[in-house]
Amino acid sequence: MLSYRRYDDPVQISEYVVSRPRYPQKVFDMILEYTKQQAIPCKSGKFPLAVDVGCGPGLMSTSFLAPHFDKVLGIDISEAQIAEANANKEYDNIEYKVAHAESMPVEDKSVTLVQVATALHWLDHEKFYRECDRVLVAGGVIAAFSHYPDIQVIDHPNKDHLTRILREIQVKITSNENPEYLLPNKYAAEYYKDPCLQIPYPDTQRYDDIFFPFHTTIAGIHRYYMTITCVRKFISSNEDRKRWWKDIFDRIMEAYRTDNSESPLTIQFKVYLLLGRKPKIILE
């Protein structure tokens, strides 16, 4: 089974929770709106079961579903992520389990929503979509989304210069120079446009025009990049790269005209969202 163990380090996991941007509520509202169009709620007015695949520490994706489902199951292949998710658990109707996306620990036709946030690119897509088809009720929904820095500094008088420097990071880490930049990273950088990632149902929707501001600091940008495995490994792999990285941040401080790395900085992120619905009637 194709599997990438890239989010297993407990230090990285605690950094992840504080240094990654959070999805805007709008994304979850759009998913629920699409789900409500055909799925049937229980007497409680909620839907019976959602699975959040690749839930990671839970706070960034699973928690949003809890008010709308009787039960939410968050699954992840990483034991360390599930331990963190349990430590962060915000709702009693959430359960976290170590499990593979390609083999979910749920009954056939029992799930109304399979959500996969910032994780689809790491999965074995064919097996995952087959597994979704097994577990989803008719009219059930797959929602796959991720985010990517759109690299626009939006709150500084010298924003154009700062934007150009930050874009240099993006160019370098996605270049052939970086052996850690893997195919899944590329899928994410291309906003899930690759044909192999598309949800194999006739009723699908795609959005890639959802932008949101990530309010952080210069040091926060540094920490954000350190939560991305292909960046962290690239920079730490030799002295030239360490120097390049230090030089980039020196230039950011200079362009910002500050000597305080905790100076606030806001950059724009883009969310891309794939939605697909299991057909109600299958015509043979």
Which chain residues interact with ligand SAM by CB under 6 A?
A: 3-4, 7, 53-56, 60-61, 75-78, 81, 100-102, 117-119, 122-123
Which CB sits closer to ligand SAM, 234 or 256?
Answer: 234
CB 118, min distance to ligand SAM, A: 4
Which CB sits closer to ligand SAM, 85 or 248?
Answer: 85
Which CB sits closer to ligand SAM, 76 or 212?
Answer: 76
Helices 10-19 and 79-88, interaxial angle, to 10°? 50
CB 272, min distance to ligand SAM, A: 13
Residues belonging to the chain: 284
CB 146, min distance to ligand SAM, A: 8
Q: Residue 215 contacts by C-beta under 8 Å, 6 or more apart in sequence?
A: 264, 266
Strands (DSSP E) found in the chain: 47-53, 69-76, 94-98, 111-117, 136-153, 203-217, 264-277
Q: Are 143 and 274 in contact (CB under 8 A)?
A: yes
CB 17, min distance to ligand SAM, A: 9
**Burial of 232 by CB count in 10 Å (0-12 exposed, 13-18 middle, 19+ buried)?**
middle
Here the tokens at position 122 are 């790491």
> Which residue type occupies 81?
Q
Which CB sits closer to ligand SAM, 102 or 156?
Answer: 102
Which CB sits closer to ligand SAM, 102 or 178?
Answer: 102
Q: Are 143 and 272 in contact (CB under 8 A)?
A: no
Which CB sits closer to ligand SAM, 53 or 72?
Answer: 53
DSSP state of 231: H
CB 7, min distance to ligand SAM, A: 4
Q: Which residue is nearest to ligand SAM (CB)?
A: 56
What does R_g of the chain's alpha carbons equal in angstroms?
Answer: 20
CB 105, min distance to ligand SAM, A: 11
